[in-house]
């Protein structure tokens, strides 16, 4: 079993789609091991997305991720990272496959509903950013 991080972005929460996205993830075989609702500060968003600091979209990404509540979620299943990437769909919602989270709930390349870790190593770092060990429910 592998654990990965998803973040339901402010657009998803504001549109009232957080429950739908969580149900979509569960129907795709994920088990929720941790979940919280929070409003990222500018410093938190900048720290989380620091890898993109030199990219032209960094400022707008930080602005977007701080405009409303987000829902970080620890998800578990076999091949969780790769499977979540498939279930999320392409970053650009116009290129996302039918039935993916981004195609269903995203509205643009930036307002694309959900973040997901891109590797097992990054998943471990990103999970630790939002959850302590005692915050995650162990598998039965």
Q: Contact 90/98 with Cβ under 8 angstroms?
A: no
Q: Which residues are known to be catalytic?
A: 115
- The rounded distance, in Å, linking the Cα atoms of 83 and 85 is 5
What is the gyration radius of the CA atoms in the chain, in angstroms?
14
Taken in order 39, 1, 124, 25, the sign of the CA dihedral is negative
First and final CA of the chain: distance in angstroms? 12
Among candidates 21, 22, 69, which has minimal Cα distance to 45?
A: 69
Q: Contact 84/26 with Cβ under 8 angstroms?
A: no
């Amino acid at each position: 079993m592998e654990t990965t991080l998803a973040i339901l972005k402010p657009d998803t929460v504001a549109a009232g789609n957080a429950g739908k996205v969580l149900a979509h993830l569960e129907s795709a075989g994920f088990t929720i091991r941790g979940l919280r609702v929070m409003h990222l500060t500018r410093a938190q968003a900048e720290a989380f997305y620091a890898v993109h600091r030199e990219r032209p979209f960094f400022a707008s990404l930080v602005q977007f991720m701080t405009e409303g509540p987000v829902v970080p979620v620890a998800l578990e299943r076999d091949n969780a990272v790769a499977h979540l990437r498939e279930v999320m769909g392409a970053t650009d919602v116009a290129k996302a496959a039918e039935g993916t989270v981004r195609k269903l709930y995203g509205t643009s390349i930036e307002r694309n509903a959900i973040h997901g870790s891109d590797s097992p190593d990054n998943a471990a770092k990103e999970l630790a950013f939002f959850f302590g060990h005692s915050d995650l429910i162990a598998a039965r």
